[in-house]
Amino acid sequence: MVRFQVEIHVSGGLHARPASVLVNLLNQYRSSVTMIYNDKRANGKSILSVMALGVKNGDEMTFEVEGDDEQEAATALRSLIERNFAIS
């Protein structure tokens, strides 16, 4: 399992557009992704779960990536976050 903490920098937090970009990226991988914020856990492949966390700009959260392609998924996820959810 790959586990890491990041600070989210996206205007308005993880609202519909960045949550959609995140979910679309993660659904390209077989690994499961759990997002942890304020003691709440969410399935990173479910837009409703992601949005229900209520992550705001500047908040810190934890990701857990587990599965056959966890390294690749975690690398892609970190890259997306570093680009502030901009689609490349």
Average pLDDT of the chain, as a whole number? 96
**CA 59 – CA 88 distance, rounded (Å):** 23
- pLDDT for res 75: 98
CATH number of residue 62's parent domain: 3.30.1340.10
In-domain check, residue 88: no
Cα–Cα distances in angstroms (integers) from residue 5 to residues 19, 40, 44, 81, 88, in the given order: 17, 14, 14, 11, 22
9 is annotated as an active-site residue: no
pLDDT, mean of residues 13-32: 97
Give yes or no for residue 29 having a pLDDT over 70.
yes
Which residue among 6, 15, 49, 59 is the active-site one?
15
Paired sense of beta strands 2-7 and 32-37, if any: unpaired
* Domain interval for residue 35: 2-83
Torsion sign across C-alpha atoms 24, 62, 34, 41: negative
